[in-house]
Structure 1
Amino acid sequence: MGAARPPGDRRAAVPARAGALDGRPGAGAEERDPAVRRAHPRGPRRGRPRHGGGRGTRRRGPARVLPLRPPVRRATGRSVTTPTSTVTTDRLWRAPYVVTVVATSLVFVAVGVTIPLLPFVVLDRLGGTELAVGLVFGASALSAVLCRPALGWLGDVRGRRLLLVVGTVVTAAGLWGHLVAANVSALVLARLVLGLGQAAVMVAAATLALDLAPAGRRGEASSYLFLAVNGGIGTGPAVGQQLASHGEATAWFGAASLCLVAGVLALFLPRPPRADTGGEALVPVRPSYGAALRTGTLAGLGTLGFAGFLAFVPLYADDLDLTATWAVFLLASGTVVTVRIVGARVPDRLGARTVARTSFGAIATGFGVMALWGTVPGLLVGTVVMAGGMGLLVPSLVLHATSGVSAGEETRRMSTFTLFLDLAAALGPSLLGLVAVRASYGQAFLGCAAAALLGLVLLLRWVPARSSTAPGPAAEPA
């Protein structure tokens, strides 16, 4: 056993027994903590006599080691690599994270209110066509895609909290525009405003969730955040139909009010501390987008069909004489919620590739069931299977896209990744509407299954078998 150290001594303890790991008896602090670097990483030289052994040997004191200094993260032009993380027991559900999840959920409940109402607004109130329905749905994603670079820069420079508050206000303005729109062109303009606000909320909330997550639980934090998104979109249609029963204006006013409440909650988010740089100045960041572009493409292919499903399932259900359209949305939302709650830590434990591979397979199978079994039971069964795949697809890909991200780059990396989700939201309804007009909904669902299979092929090519789940840097100002 090493000699006693005076208080405040920063030297690492010498292990009582070499090779002890994982907290077994005799393990030293430098062996349990991978961040600690020992003076002699290869251990004692072979053949050297132990302390007190043999005649003529000089008794040695405790081995001297280098002073401990925690690893420092600096903003650089390249990503910072860290050791693979393990799931920890640090608390995730602290007040700032809860506020972020609740505010995000309220905004996307408001967005979900538009889903069952918008097709009938276009067809009945404004006299549009099914193709116009797809274009109106996709307009919000177009503005979200175009503004993503600016939103990523704003989040990194001005803070995620400001971005979240501004996004809720802009989203409320876009929802109010749905009520006052007198023609399809005005409705498209309102959807463009809605898309801008929705993108700001998504980028800010997704980055805040990663900022506030303990080490080794970033995948779990992302799962619950996207659970709030999908849960809001899934429950929003039921809320919208209930509000619309009291008048269309009530539905739009109620949706806008939810966004404003979310904005008020976001004002109470604290400012997280700056990352410790060890006294060294941060240098300008040149973001690296390779991982975000690849994983964003995968996420876009996986969510392409889901976006079209949300847009046209009211019309498809009407063709099947299913009047309770809200039940389909609740079924999809409930499946996503269940999968994400039960499997919240699965991406952290199994890695992005394994989880995403299973998710792509389930999505393709679900849409195949809808296409080949064109009945109400087929729609319900296919919805469960497809939504089960959607449950963990995006959280697992977020974990891969943000692994090893350098300080000052977080929001821009997340902005690039989520840009592809907006592209899928724009192209999914438009492509599905085009195929539905020229062929049938069954053919459109087959196209969605083909997109998921393409994503599976690219996943096996782009994501390594043991993808890193290393934690990102410490939180920057929100």
Structure 2
Amino acid sequence: MGRPGREHHTARGRILASHARQHRPRSGGHGGCVPPRRGPRRPCVLVSVAASARVLSVFLVFLALGGLTTTVPRYVIGVLDVPIGAVGIAALATGIGGVLGRLVSGVLLRRWHPSVVALPAVCLAALSLLVTAVVPELWWLLLWRVVQGLGTGAFHTAVFTRAIGEGGGRTGRAIAFASVPLFAGTALGPSAAELLTRFVGVSWTWSVLAIPVLVVVVLTALQRHETLAASSSAPFVVAQSAIEAGMWRRLGSHATRMVHRGAVPAGACWVLLSAAWGGAQAFLPLYALDVGMSASGPLFLTFSTVVVLVRIGGAGLFDRVPETLQAIVGGACALAGAGLLAFVPSPPAVYVAVVLFALNTALGFGALMRTATAGADAAERGSAVSTFNLSFDIGVALSTAGLGIVVQATGGFAAAFAIAGGCALAGVLIVLVLPGRGLRRALASQSS
């Protein structure tokens, strides 16, 4: 080919000149470039305030629930003057409400933002605390125990669903940090309730414990308003049709999907592993008096402190250590703790047992929850969390009711805690023999 002519060079020059004019730096400061337009800094402050409000809400709710741990047994025995087995029946009523709350919240969380689900849940919890002591009758107590379980079960599910959804795939770390305000509240609640009982009496303690929950009602309402206002950019997109649609129509359309089948095996294991502590925490205020302790609040403080320290310290390891290995170690701790309560009834043994139960909760609960939610997508995550958390309510309800029956029949706690230890052993054996989740495979995956 020949040399390009003048016409070709002229056309090429015009193209280059046009390109230079389009990308010419504008005059002014910042090196001739237009500085990027910055948005207001206020939304960042609002985000941090909203996160702090969520943490405070979880702390206050479980501060009140921790106070009920010592209030309910004293109220049943001292005010209602009924046999000790009624303590287990009250826990069973709370567990039934918790099961209902988690089932309903699992359906609602398929389409609704967790803050929207948490608001009516915490309102029910506050109402139950305000009216329980109005009528000093057992049937009235059981009725509002069901309502309180319904509210707190739905609130707990909404909190952990949001934490897992915002965890960026690091489920173990998200569960660990979401548990910190929860166990901080349950650590301080029992001692605070015992102090209140000394000054205002056990009946008025119910109403005083409702105050922090009422504060959470206000905080949750504000969070719900911000969530709906920013729903287009939130991690959980709340469709307007989902908010305006009727609850009963939505419940009917999802009634067949209340239980996430993938979370059932892990939940069944946790029912057995948590039986010992589930029953112990209801009767620990009475058991502590039997072994010569003046108060049980420090025991719950010890339990929650150990759980928080383990979960914060091991937050980076939970996603790397096999879940099965964590569950087995936790179950072994629960078995040892139940054995101490059954056969070594002394204050030092009680503290050691509480530490062992705390290790079981810190390791086993988070590991099995990660197993339950591993195969769930974003739309099914709330259902998986609620299904697994059913195991917590079922375990506490059945173990406490069974423990109360055995204690009332035998006149002591030894046989009851021995049976609870047998449940923990059964849970460990089930984890060992589950297909594909045995200890050998767990150790092999850890070494690889």
Range into which the TM-score falls when normalised by the shorter chain: 0.7 to 0.9
Shift of 1:228: 3.1
For residues 262 and 188 of structure 1, do their structure 2 counterparts lie closer, same or farther at Cα, with a shift above 3 Å needed?
A: same
Equivalent in 103, 112, 123 of residue 77 of structure 2: 123
Deviation at 1:250, TM superposition (A): 4.5
Structure 2 matches for 1:6-405, cutoff 5 A?
A: 97-215=51-169, 217-248=170-201, 250-269=204-223, 270=227, 271=231, 272-273=234-235, 289-405=260-376
Structure number with bigger Rg: 2
Deviation for aligned residue 1:114: 1.2
Q: In the aligned structure 2, how far is the partner of 1:174 from the partner of 1:109? A: 15
The offset of 1:130, in angstroms, is 0.5
- Alignment correspondent of 1:418: 389
Distance of 1:358 and 1:466 partners within structure 2 = 12
Report Cα offsets for 1:167-196 as digits up to 9, x if no partner: 111101111122213210111111111011
Judging changes above 3 Å, is the alpha-carbon distance between structure 1 residues 452 and 230 closer, same or farther for their aligned structure 2 residues? farther
After superposition, give the CA deviation of every residue in 1:179-236 in whole Å (9 maximum; x if it has no partner).
2132101111111110111111111011011011123x21111122234333322321
- 1:289 Cα deviation (Å)? 2.7
Rounded to whole Å, the distance in 2 between the matches of 1:212 and 1:99 is 16
Letter in 1 for 2:146: L
Q: Runs in 1 of length 4+ with deviation above 4 angstroms?
A: 93-98, 284-288
Partner in structure 2 of residue 444 of structure 1: 416
What amino acid sits opposite 2:401 in the alignment?
A: S
SS of the aligned residue for 2:315 comes to: coil
- Superposed counterparts of 1:425-440, under 5 Å: 425-439=396-410, 440=412
The one-letter amino acid of 2:74's match is F
Instruction: Please give the secondary structure, in 1, of the residue aligned with 2:151.
Output: helix
Contact between 2:403 and 2:416, CA under 8 Å: does it hold in 1? yes
Paired residues of 1:368 and 1:446 also in contact (CA < 8 A): yes
Indicate the percent of aligned positions where both proteins have the same amino acid: 28
Report the Cα offset of residue 97 of structure 1. Answer: 4.9
- Alpha-carbon distance in structure 1 between the residues aligned to 2:148 and 2:61: 11
Distance 2:77 2:388 in 1: 34
Q: Distance in 1 between matches of 2:414 and 2:134?
A: 35
Q: Distance in 2 between matches of 1:362 and 1:122?
A: 31
TM-score by length of 2: 0.77
- The residue identity in structure 2 corresponding to 1:127 is D
Secondary structure of the equivalent of 1:398? helix
Q: Which whole-Å CA distance do the structure 2 matches of 1:112 and 1:367 have between them? A: 21
Per-residue CA deviations over 1:268-323 (Å, capped at 9, x if unaligned) read 44442457xxxxxxxx9986833300111112212222121111011111111211
Q: Sort the Cα spacing of 1:224 and 1:162 in 2 relative to 1 into closer, same or farther, 3 A.
A: same
Q: Tell me the secondary structure at the aligned position of residue 246 of structure 1.
A: helix
Contact in 2 for aligned 1:352/1:397 (Cα 8 Å): yes
Question: Which residue type is aligned with residue 245 of structure 1?
Answer: R
Q: Note the C-alpha offset of 1:251.
A: 2.3
Residues 238-288 of structure 1 deviation map (CA, whole Å, 9 limit, x = unaligned) = 11112223313552233211112223223344442457xxxxxxxx99868
- Once superposed, what is the RMSD of the aligned Cα atoms? 2.3
Residue 85 of structure 2 contacts residue 407 of structure 2 at CA under 8 Å; is this kept in 1? no
**Cα distance in 2 for residues equivalent to 1:418 and 1:274:** 21
Structure 2 residues not aligned, in runs of 5+:
1-46, 238-252
Contact 1:172–1:256 (8 Å) recurs in 2: yes
Where does residue 455 of structure 1 map in the other structure?
A: 427
1:435-472 per-position Cα deviation (integer Å, ceiling 9, x unaligned): 112232122111121111111111122362359x9xxx
Q: Answer yes or no: is the 8 Å Cα contact 1:302–1:360 preserved in 2.
A: yes
Instruction: Show the counterpart of 1:4.
Output: none
Structure 2 Cα separation of the partners of residues 97 and 350 of structure 1: 29
Aligned pairs, number: 367
For residues 206 and 185 of structure 1, do their structure 2 counterparts lie closer, same or farther at Cα, with a shift above 3 Å needed?
same
